Each structure stands twice: as C-alpha cells, then as structure tokens.
Structure 1
Amino acid sequence: MADLPIHTIVFEILTRLPAKDVGRSKSVCKQWYALLSTQDFVRIHCTRSLVSSNQRVLLIDDLTCSVHSIISKSNDYGPSSIVTFPFHHQNNDVSILSHLNGLLCVCLNHTYELLLWNPTTTAFKRLSTTDSHGFYINNLDAIGLYVDADDDYKVLHIKRRSGVLGVYVYSREVDSWRNIPFITRQEYLSPHFNWSAGTFCGGTLYFTVCECWLGGAKRVICFDVNSEHFKEISFPPVPSIGKVQGVLVNVKNVLHMFASTGMFEMTIDLWTLQGDYWIKVLSCPPIPPISLSLWCDITHFVTNGNWFVMTKLGKLFTIEMDMKPFECFYPVSWFRGFKGAVFVQTIVSPSI
C-alpha cells in the first residue's frame, strides 16, 4: 500500500488526536512540528475537540489544581491529574473568569492581573500593560472571551472604577488593548448593577445585568463581536419573587438560560433565545432549599434527565427532573465556580 501523503496524515488523522498526544507528535520531526503549529491545524483540531467526552473539570487548590474527567452516567468525577500553575501566584489566588475553546481567562487576585491560560498545554499570556489595561477588580468588572470572524481570540473587559467607566477589547493577534464605545443605557455601567461573565454564542457575547436589590431591573446585554455594537434584550418572563438568577449557557450554539426564582424553595426553568425573545423549554418542580454557602451554578444537562450542578466549592449535586431528557449529553460553554471551571482540552494558544 502506498504511503499516505503527509497532508492526509496531519489534517485527517492528527487533528483527531487528544491535545496531549498532539504535543508529543510535534517531537517526531521538524516538518511535523511546523505543520502541527499552524493556525489551520489548530483551528481544525479545536473544532474536532469540542465534544462532551473531551470536557474536564478543573478544581483549584492552594498551590496546584487538579483536572478530572466527567462520568456523565454517575454525575461524578473520573481519575484526576495534577497541573501546576506555570505563573507566579499566592495561595488561593487564582480566579477563573471565563473560558472558550480550552483557553481560560483568569485573574491573579493579589495583583489584579488578567491572564489567558491553556491548562492542557500549560501555556499562558499576561494581558496587563503599563498603562493600566488588563487589571480586573471583582464585583466591579465583567469579562467575556470570544473569537471573531477572522479567528482572532479577544477579551472584552467592562471596567468600572470610581467615576471612570469604560469598555476595552484585547486582541490576541495584535497583542494590544483598545477602547470601544458602550452605546446603550449608561446606568448599566454603574456599581448598582451586577454583571455576569460573558457567554459566547453565535457571534455574540451575552451578559446578564441585574440591579443589586430584590425586585430590581434585570436585562440581557448583547455584544455583537464583529460589528462591536451593544444592544439589550429582555429577561425571560419569570416571577420576581425572592431571589432571581439567570445562568446563561451555550447549547449547540443556541443560547439558553437556566432561570431560578424563589427564596426558601426554588423553581428552575430552562429558556431558549429565539431572535430577541425567550421560549420556555423545560420546567422542574420546586427544589429544596440550597444553603447560600453552597449556592451552585447549573453546568450540564445529562442523559438521564437530571441537571448536574457544581457548588462554589466544587461539590457535585443533581436536581432530579421527571421530564423527557435531551437526546444526548450537551456540553455548556461556560462555568465558573469559586475554585473551578469546566473546560475542553485543546491546543489553542493564548498568544500568536
């Protein structure tokens, strides 16, 4: 049998390997190293890596972090491996703000610096500059990580300081920050509103924006990543009773929201965005009270019809549903806990 062409080996076979095996394959020869480092190879490999079986849970410890596989049938972790932080940090210092295609946007809490980090390859890039860009303050700022039509990975930083408000975009390709206008209601940039991290879906970054008190205004802010224009849409029509929380998730490139309402008993509905309007997909009966110290974000929808949730401290729970389940296990595009995140293993680099 004739030898396979090198192009077939690289783009039809090696693009299907796990990320760590690609790293080992680079040491075969200089030609393979060059081909496996091209943006075309990285883009194809990333596309083929975005499957639920390739998802991992990252949990942060004082000095290191552990990476676990996910066993969907039992809602539990598989075997873990230890990843040592490649950047200098202090104990309990790293906060995960967002992730996309294997890249995590993290903050070093003692310096407020932003970094892009791939925990699979261990490569990282500092985003801070001498002119004060790339510094993040918790509870004031918001971050969204996205990729535009030119395949340029970018970070949107909504920055709120005392009397100074601004929106900035970092480009991986040009390695610099620039200011862009925020053309919607300026009051959303005040400290009276809480912003979620951005969820990237269908060429748009979505944020929930909620006033800090019970019964306050709630909106969804949309940022078109190619035109760089903002607009706002309504929240799903949920009752404003007690605590209202909306968690945005990307399911097969369609935006969904898990909306929870209540105080002592919570009800949770799943909504999907069609155009600028929300359509209810699923409902569950009221669930028992969840201690505020264990309040959790919904991270996955599993095949047995239960919701797989993780608390801020990394503990796993399920919410049982007597509903017809989705046909398969869908990964979501974003989850950030106090000490962890869900991400996909890729070879996407934080720098060019």
Structure 2
Amino acid sequence: MDFETGEYDPHSVLPLPFQGVKKEVWILANLDGLLCVCLSQTHELLLWNPTTAAYRHLATPAGHGLYEDNADTVGLYSDPSNDYNLLHLTRRSGMLAAHIYSRQQGNWRKIAFKTNPAYHTPKLCWSPATLCAGTLYFTIFECWVVGRNVVIGFDTSTEQVTEISFPHVPSSGIFQGVLVTVRNSLHMVLWTGREYMSLSLWALQGQNWVRLLSTPAVPPIPLSLWMTITHYMTNGRFIVMRNSTKVFEIRVDTKAVDCYYACSWFRGYTGAVYAETLVSPFAVA
C-alpha cells in the first residue's frame, strides 16, 4: 500500500522468503523498515525486511527468541551506535523475564526489568511496545472490563523501568487505551463505556496526561466494523485497520470521530505500516 500517493488498495503481494504461510505470520513490531514477526506454528521470532527480503531467525537452541501469544510482548528500538535491538518480555508461571537481542552482536542477554509482581499474572494483557523519544511504552490492562490500567516505560539508554497512570476518566464497562507517537510525543487514544462508547485523545506531558479532543458517546456498532488505530501520519491523520484488513483514515484536524468501536485486541498481528528501507536484519560491517 502506497500511503504517499493515497493509493490504499493492495498493489502487490510480497512472497515470504522464509517457510510458512501468511496466516501463520504475526507482525509484532516494526522500526525503520524492519519487522519483528513470529511464526505461530513454531513460536520463532524473526527480523525481516520485506523490501529486501532479508531475514534473520532469532530463536536459539537455549530457548531464547520463542514467543508465546497472550503471555509475551516485544519492542524494537535503535541505539546511538546504530545497533537495532529487540526487547522480549516473557511471563511464565507468574514470573516476568526480560531479554534483549542485539543485531550487532547477534545474541541475547538477560536484563533486570523491575515491575509490580501483580503485572506478571496472565490475567493482565500487555500491549506491543510503542517507541517514543528513546523509551518503549507498554499498556497493561484487564481485558474488556474496568480494572487495573497502567503504562510502563522502558528507557532504552538506562534500561530503567517507570510506571505511569492512565488518564483519569470516570467510566464503567470497557476501559482501554492505545498508544501512538505523534511528532515525537506520546499520545493515547482512550475509549470508555459499555453500551455507549466515548473516545478521547490524550498527550503525555511530563508525568501527566492532557486531553486534546473527545467525542460524544456513540451507540455500539457490529463487531465486523471494529477497528484498531495502527499508525499516525505526519499530515495529521490516523491510519486505522478493520479486522477484515481494510484500511481507513481519520482526519483529527477537521472534526471529531463520528462513530466507531476501537479495539486493541487485533493490534499488531494482521499488518503494519512501515517505510521501505535497506536496513538489514544482520550486523552492519
């Protein structure tokens, strides 16, 4: 899909250079043209550049680089030495472990990732990471119902973890947020309610959330029309993808969103918006 020209219909089919079929390939993260994908049948993690077809298996005989759905999450980032890194968080038996894969070194290392032990339970959902100003952010929430909601930040330079509260919005029923980076600033698209849903956009300023816009409460619509916000374009539009993979855009600079149910449940698996680059999954000589 070419977003620069406005041609949003699929114009080419990319063959998979690795063994697997498309429905078994989950897209978990993307950065600078590199995609981190999981092969759902083998649980292996790969780094893949769809433009050059280069890819690299990250799984090891020691058990690193294997991804479990609903228990793990990942985040891609780059450091000042031009090394691309993958943070892989795993939850097993109520314990959280963190490992970082270095493209330059070609290996995994374990790091400390100190969070509240209550977040390690499988009853809580961790979102894929959103990279903003050198920090990877995750949302942690109790699925579909009001409960514990928090944002965790991982500073990629110091490898320190911080906790940020959700925006304070009185609500009952569903209470979820999706993080997006807008002009190097962290934003959250938040929806609340039960039968009638309200949507709002918040920006993080320091440790506080500032509301930028909100919509009136709207009635529910069929499940087949649920969407997820996947990307923010620099021209002031959000790109959203329906669970049938049809792409839409929302112009936030002209009017509020009329009516849709946001849903982060499908986020990150069916597609990604990425720039075509020559960045290699392998170390740069």
Please give the TM-score of this superposition, normalised by the length of structure 1: 0.72
Which residue identity is paired with 1:101? D
Aligned to 1:109: 40
Which sections of structure 1, spanning at least 5 residues, go unmatched? 1-67, 326-334
SS of alignment partner, residue 13 of structure 2? strand
Matching of residue 221 in structure 1 with residue 221 in structure 2: no
Give the alignment partner of residue 145 of structure 1, picking from 49, 52, 76. Answer: 76
Superposed CA deviations along residues 6-44 of structure 1, whole A, max 9, x for unmatched, are: xxxxxxxxxxxxxxxxxxxxxxxxxxxxxxxxxxxxxxx
Deviation at 1:91, TM superposition (A): 5.4
Aligned to 1:311: 242
DSSP-derived class of the 2:282 partner = coil
SS of structure 2 residue aligned to 1:342: coil
* Offset from partner CA, 1:298-346 (integer Å, 9 cap, x none): 2355799775421122123455768469xxxxxxxxx944421111111
Name whichever structure is richer in helix by fraction.
Answer: 1
Partner of 1:25: none
Contact conserved, 1:72 with 1:302, CA < 8 A, in 2? no
Amino acid at match of 2:282: S
SS at match of 1:160: strand
| Aligned-pair CA distance for 1:87 | 0.4
Deviation at 1:247, TM superposition (A): 0.8
Unaligned runs of 5+ in 2: 257-265
Matched, 1:264 2:195: yes
Deviation at 1:126, TM superposition (A): 0.6
Indicate if the aligned counterparts of 1:284 and 1:322 stay in contact, CA closer than 8 A.
no
CA offset at residue 111 of structure 1?
Answer: 0.1
Distance change >3 Å, CA 283–CA 151, structure 1 → 2: same
Contact 1:336 1:342 in 2 (8 A): no
Corresponding residue of 2:171: 240
> Aligned equivalents of 2:234 and 2:163: distance in 1?
33
Deviation track 1:117-146 (CA, whole Å, cap 9, x = no partner) reads: 111111111100000000001111111111
Structure 1 pair 161–291 and aligned structure 2 pair: CA distance change class (3 A):
farther
Amino acid at match of 2:242: T
Q: Which moved more, 1:195-204 or 1:250-259?
A: 250-259
* Structure-2 change in CA distance of 1:107 and 1:181 (3 Å): same
Q: Is the 8 A contact 2:153 2:163 kept in 1?
A: yes
SS at match of 1:341: coil
Paired residue total: 274
Work out whether residues 230 and 272 of structure 2, in 8 Å CA contact, stay in contact via their aligned partners in 1: no
Mark the structure with the bigger radius of gyration.
1
| Distance in 1 of aligned mates of 2:94 and 2:237 | 45
2:149 partner amino acid: K
Distance 1:305 1:218 in 2: 28
Task: Return closer, same or farther for 1:226/1:322 CA change in 2, 3 Å cut-off.
Answer: closer
SS in 1 for 2:198: strand
User: Are 1:291 and 2:222 an aligned pair?
Assistant: yes
Residue pair 2:182, 2:232 contacting (<8 A) in 1 also = no
RMSD across aligned C-alpha pairs, in angstroms?
2.5
